[in-house]
Amino acid sequence: MSKSSTNLTIKDIAKLSGVSKSTVSRVINHDPMVKESTRNKVMAIVEQYQFTPSKSARAMRGYGNKVIGIIVTRLDSISENHAVQSMLPIFYANGYDPIIIESQFSAAKVAEHLMMLREKQADGIIVFAFTGLDSSLLTVWQHKCVVIARPFSAYSCICYDDIGAVNKALTYLYQSEKHKKIGFIGVDKQDQTTGGLRYQAYIDFCTAYKIQPNAVLGNLSYYSGYELAESVLVHSPTAIVCATDSIALGLNKFLSEKNINNIIVISIGSSELLNFLFSQTITVDLGFDKAGIYAANELLLMLEKQVNAKIITVPSQLLK
């Protein structure tokens, strides 16, 4: 009926409901100082015409755009994907428009994207950290920013339980299953968390329980797991812990090809694909989806009221 061709403005709504622009503005922004009757009157028109205030205009008034920037390292990272997918509904439910961008592990790109987000008057950001990303880039955003996967001091961070996850895996193998020869395939220590932390946890466990370490480090790809398999197997372990599910995929392929099926594989990180393809693999869930939920809620909290930075560690869970 009503021509909904071109978008209505606050002025039109004012005319239509017989009040002034300011009153309409007050109604929209839930100013308590408006008479019940006029509020209803205006709201009726607003509903009827499906009016929504121009975001650009509000942004210009310094209002914030109801925009959250989400900077992932790579769009095709399975773990980050899960985290993002679980935070999106939360942002939508609170009226925020999440905009996803890719850093490709480049600090320079992060800087670029942050500039863009500032221009767009984004209200807050979520950053998936990586080796080489410096917290100094984020200073401007300090109080409207949640960092994932690295514990930057003075920032709100969501971290994975790298150490606990490895310990859970090793405890299960050593205590419950009485394995004595446990190998480890990890990633280079230059990667502080997935690399350094998980490797160190393995080493620490070994020294604590007087196990002969048998570790080898590569990169994050499944090729790495495949290629490094042999150098761990040469010490004839009865179980092998993989620092990531990709590595576990590679290792499993190797074992499957060589028809080796008396070795237990435990993966830090539990992906649907790994569980499907190699269902005998034991996995430790790092809780990517929970991380997303934590991150989103924490950010919304920060935007609502001043809240001091905290570091949340997502609990891990052994799945057997």
Partner DNA sequence: TTGTACGCGTTATCAC
Partner DNA sequence: GTGATAACGCGTACAA
Which residues contact a copy of itself (rule: CB under 8 A)?
A: 7, 52, 54-57, 59-60, 65, 74-76, 78, 81-82, 84-85, 88, 97-102, 115-116, 118-121, 222-223, 226, 249-250, 253, 256, 273, 276-277
Residue closer to a copy of itself (CB basis): 140 or 307: 140
Q: Which is nearer to DNA, 28 or 99 (CB)?
A: 28
Per CB under 7 A, 49 contacts DNA: no
φ and ψ at residue 237, rounded to 5 degrees: -75, 160
- How far apart (Å, rounded) are the C-alpha atoms in residues 247 and 255? 12
Retrieve residue 221's tokens: 């790809």
Cβ atoms of 238 and 212 within 8 Å: the answer is no
- Under the binding rule (CB under 7 A), the answer on residue 1 touching DNA is no
Beta carbon nearer to a copy of itself, 24 or 201:
24
d(CA 174, CA 182): 8
Residue 224 backbone class (left: φ over 0; alpha: ψ -120 to 50; beta: rest):
alpha
Nearer to a copy of itself, 26 or 82 (CB): 82
Which member of 60, 108, 140, 234 binds DNA (CB under 7 A)? Answer: 60
Name the minimum Å distance from CB 137 to DNA.
23
Using CB distances below 5 to 8 A depending on partner kind, what does residue 84 bind out of DNA, a copy of itself, none? Answer: a copy of itself
**Rounded to a whole number, what is the distance in angstroms from the first to the last CA of the chain?**
60
> If binding is defined by CB under 7 A, does position 54 make contact with DNA?
yes
> Could you say which residues in the range 13-42 bind DNA, by CB under 7 A?
18-23, 25-26, 28-29, 33-35, 37-39
Q: Secondary structure of 208-219 in the HEC alphabet?
A: HCCCCCCEEEEC
- Alpha-carbon Rg for the chain, nearest whole angstrom, is 26
- The interface partner of residue 35, options being DNA, a copy of itself, none and the CB cut-off 5 to 8 Å by kind, is DNA
Min dist CB 253 to a copy of itself, Å, is 6
221 in contact with DNA (CB under 7 A)? no
| Shortest distance in whole angstroms from residue 215 CB to a copy of itself | 23
Amino acid present at 146: V
| Residues of this chain that bind DNA (CB under 7 A) | 7, 9-11, 18-23, 25-26, 28-29, 33-35, 37-39, 53-54, 57-58, 60-63
